[in-house]
Amino acid sequence: MIIDSAQKTGIMAEKGIDSPYRDFHHPYTPYKIQLDFMNALYDTIEEGKIGIFESPTGTGKSLSLICGAMKWLRDHQSISQLNQPQSAVQDDTEPAWVREYHDNMLKEKRLRKYKELEARIRRVREIEQQEKANAQTKNWLGLPDENRRKRANAADKNHDDVSRFIVDDWDSDSEDVKSKKGSSTKEYNNISSEVQELLKKLSGQTEGNSEDEELEDFDEEVKIFYASRTHSQLTQFVQQLRLPTYPPSELYQSETNLRHVPLSSRKQLCIHPTVSRLRDLNTINDKCTELQQNPIDKRCPYLMNEREVDDRVKTRHFRDRVLSDIRDIEDMSEIGSSMGVCPYYAGRGAIELSEVVTLPYPLLLQSSYRKALSISLKNQIVIIDEAHNLLDAITSLFSMAISYSDIVKSKSCVEAYLAKFSKRLNGGNKVYISQIIKLLKVLELFLVGFKGSNGTEVSQNDVLLKDGVDTINIFKIENYVEKSKLARKVESYATHLIESAAVDDKGNKSRATKSTASVPVLSKVMSFLMALTNPSNEGKVFFEQTNTDRFLKYLLLDPSFHFRSIVEEARCVILAGGTMEPVGDYMRYLLPYVPAERIRTLSCDHVIPRENLGVWTIATGPTGADLTFTFDRQRVDTIGQELGRTIANLTFVIPDGMVVFFPSYKYMEEVSLCWKEVRNGSMSIWDQINQRKTIFQEPRDSAQVDSILSSYSQALSDILAQQQYHRKAVGAILLAVVGGKMSEGINFSDHLARGIVMVGLPFPNARSADMVAKRRYVENTAYDETKRRELALLQEQYADETAIPPSRMIGIEDSCKKAGEKASREYYENVCMRSVNQSIGRGIRHAKDYAVILFVDSRFEQERIQIKLPKWIRDRITNGNSEDTKIGSVLRSVREFFKEKN
């Protein structure tokens, strides 16, 4: 069953779901829902719309995304560019045959360059195949020599030259740094000349370069930018990317392999022997930047010098080798290591020539990262997977906090920097650095003197309009810090002082110093100050404190602003996920400015037969006690015991593995203690359950999750092996938490989860400052929208506003308040239900899989809750509130469900 908004509104394009047959080159025989998904995706890209697509876990969503998008890309690849007039000879006075001849010549030149690229990449593949056959590495790949390794080891050593920490002179007239000759550089300032050349090279800014001319022919190519939340999700997608056989296109008539480049942070791609071992991303970034600023003999040897012919050749060979096959991040790192080329920087050169770019959320969602990578999304296809996380991801990326200790550290570092280099800085630099110190002092005094409790809202003006700070242009300060690279210079100098002070007589660093992380606190403070300049309705500032520190926290309330540039630039944006319900939040809070007719929603059924999934609600326990896990009724000594008896009964009818999701770690731990109590001399509930199914519990420490999962899986495997001889109805049970690692990225297929139990509704803390602020924002937004709409209707009826009856105005006020309260409640429920949906979809992984889902809470019987479940689950629900479907009948139904499967 497919629910398509375009069909609902009658605006379905002629090529919609019932379009003529398209060969999507799916590696397997696709299910009907996969064909529907791919056709809808193709049409959405063709029409330049926004797509919100839901395809349950286990239905081949990734392959549907790949095949649907690549079919469109290959069908349309460069046809428009090849057919459009390209001649610079557009003068009407020129004969038509002259213009036609010139256009044909340009097209032939363009095609020739594409064929040359194909030939180069094909040659790389042939060499790689030969290498694998011979099990040896060829010298032409440019393996790093011993000198380069020695330089890498030497680059980490300290030296006494502190001039590298000095910012370039600042030109107050142009608001930019000056080069050595005094001219404004505009870009790549304060970086070594070799690095400048490389960055210019990679972003296509070096003039008169034949390779840049080659790249110009590809820069208008439509690409697919695929983003997901985690590194492991991207790796899984790349594995799927390797499965289809891609058809040739008009341009690539003999080329079937797609050209793909994976992007990631330095943490994943750095190959420097010392820097790559650092754990903290900020520290890695700082160290990398510091190595670029070092004298030539201390500089990172893996960063290619574009002034040297050999390095240029290596960079190009690296690019071609990356594009010659579908690589993941690990492959990129291995190629970089084998060739002695930095994959973080050299990988950027492959973007222009690629067809598919995979990257994590931050690199796509933050404009600063896109700018650094020279990524333009104009007319591109953007696919965001696991998009149920998108609203939270944007909020998290653009929310931030600074502490009193951050401010004090930053102020002392800047003051020490100014004291050291004051005589070597020009007037422009001194002015801005002095203003920065003043800003930091004001923030310090504000936090020291603030009187308020945790969660107290702070007015942005209270921070920015203190002690003459209102006379400082924060936008100019931010521009100065960014272009001068002051934050990196200050913090690198501070680290240099600490490390120098810790070196003993033999030149050895202390162990503590070696592990010290240089967190860019000045950059952090500046980012916070810039957030304060946002309109007050986009975000709020709160005060928080602990026993050891005080904080100012900025919370983003409106994620639509930061996502808008992507929507407006891209040809098409696809939000895809296994569970996208409740889908209304994406329209209201992410895409409020997009006309409804430009948004297409698609909800796919599951590939399993209807009879392979049973869904029940349980509202009362075995003793008839009500099971409603509201905050005021979560008394563990009463409802916890009834829940335990319910779970114990379910272990008798559900075979193999059971996964029970709790609203929080705290409640799971409290219930576990309750179950372990021995009452009236009888066996505890915990022991009763454990006797039937071995109990495993999700740990708070995410580092231990894999170990618990492995033990759980092994226990089930051992039990299944024994059952072949003894046929005992036993298994294992896993107690997990909604929002924990096991509810997000772990799939429980087959015997790992024959039953999934959802205990209660996992509402977030309604009293937290974040939730209070967010709900107030939602309420005020709905109030204002309703008021505008109602007043507009009144103004159509009454030409003179003074003639509007007071009773009508009172009525509007009441309507606005009710609309706001409803929107706030709806938002709160939707946050909860997104978490529920993400957890319960983990038990079905393929067409032959089967399982039961049990919702243990009376509120799951409410229609307004059920409507927010995925349709493929919602349609299978049997409520447990009628006389013949209470807990006893639910247990009998579950037993019959599994009896039929055996």
Cα(388)–Cα(398) distance, rounded to whole angstroms? 18
My answer on whether 485 and 516 are in the same domain is: yes
My answer on whether 758 and 887 are in the same domain is: yes
My answer on whether 822 and 884 are in the same domain is: no
Count Cα neighbours of 738 within 13 Å in the Cβ-side half-sphere.
25
Given this model, what pLDDT does residue 116 score?
78
Cα(605)–Cα(601) distance, rounded to whole angstroms? 13
Domain boundary among the residues 826, 849, 867 is at 826
My answer on whether 864 and 760 are in the same domain is: yes
My answer on whether 727 and 863 are in the same domain is: yes
Q: How many other C-beta atoms can be found within 10 angstroms of the C-beta atom of residue 121?
A: 21
My answer on whether 850 and 876 are in the same domain is: yes
The pair of three-digit structure tokens given for residue 397, joined into one six-digit string: 């990326």
Residue 22 lies in a domain: no
Domain boundary among the residues 778, 795, 826 is at 826
The pair of three-digit structure tokens given for residue 844, joined into one six-digit string: 């079905």
My answer on whether 865 and 787 are in the same domain is: no
Domain boundary among the residues 781, 803, 826 is at 826
Residues of the chain with pLDDT under 50: 1-19, 85-89, 136-143, 158, 180-191, 201-209, 511-519, 725-728, 884-885
CATH number of the domain encompassing residue 518: 1.10.275
Largest separation between any pair of C-alpha atoms in the chain: 105
Given this model, what pLDDT does residue 160 score?
55
H runs (alpha helix) in 324-403: 329-339, 343-346, 361-365, 367-372, 390-398
Given this model, what pLDDT does residue 138 score?
44
Count Cα neighbours of 47 within 13 Å in the Cβ-side half-sphere.
21
Residue 221 lies in a domain: no
Q: Scanning the structure block, which residue is given the tokens 């800085």?
A: 425
Residue 59 lies in a domain: no
My answer on whether 757 and 872 are in the same domain is: yes
Residue 351 lies in a domain: no
* pTM, full prediction: 0.85
Q: Scanning the structure block, which residue is given the tokens 């030296």?
A: 159
Q: Which domain holds residue 496?
A: 400-556
What are the φ/ψ torsions at residue 501 (nearest 5 degrees)? Answer: -70, -20
Residue 563 lies in a domain: no
The pair of three-digit structure tokens given for residue 16, joined into one six-digit string: 């919609």
Give the distance, in angstroms, between the CA of residue 112 and the centroid of all CA atoms in the same chain: 38
Question: Helix, strand or coil for residue 538?
Answer: coil
Cα(443)–Cα(43) distance, rounded to whole angstroms? 52
Residue 661 lies in a domain: yes
Total count of domains within the chain: 3
CATH number of the domain encompassing residue 620: 3.40.50.300
Q: Closest Cα to residue 830, out of 571, 582, 539, 588?
A: 582
My answer on whether 540 and 683 are in the same domain is: no
Measured CA to CA in angstroms, residue 853 lies from 69, 500, 616 at distances of 34, 61, 6
Cα(583)–Cα(672) distance, rounded to whole angstroms? 35
Cα(688)–Cα(682) distance, rounded to whole angstroms? 10
Q: Closest Cα to residue 659, out of 737, 543, 726, 599?
A: 737
Cα(788)–Cα(28) distance, rounded to whole angstroms? 52
User: What stretch of H or E contains 734?
Assistant: strand 731-737
My answer on whether 759 and 782 are in the same domain is: no
Residue 812 lies in a domain: yes
Bin 611: left if φ > 0, else alpha if -120 < ψ < 50, else beta.
Answer: alpha
My answer on whether 629 and 520 are in the same domain is: no
- For residue 629, what are the contacts with CB-CB under 8 A and spacing of at least 6? 639, 663, 759, 760, 761, 856, 857
My answer on whether 802 and 719 are in the same domain is: no
Residue 63 lies in a domain: no
What are the φ/ψ torsions at residue 232 (nearest 5 degrees)? Answer: -65, -35
Give the distance, in angstroms, between the CA of residue 271 and the centroid of all CA atoms in the same chain: 24
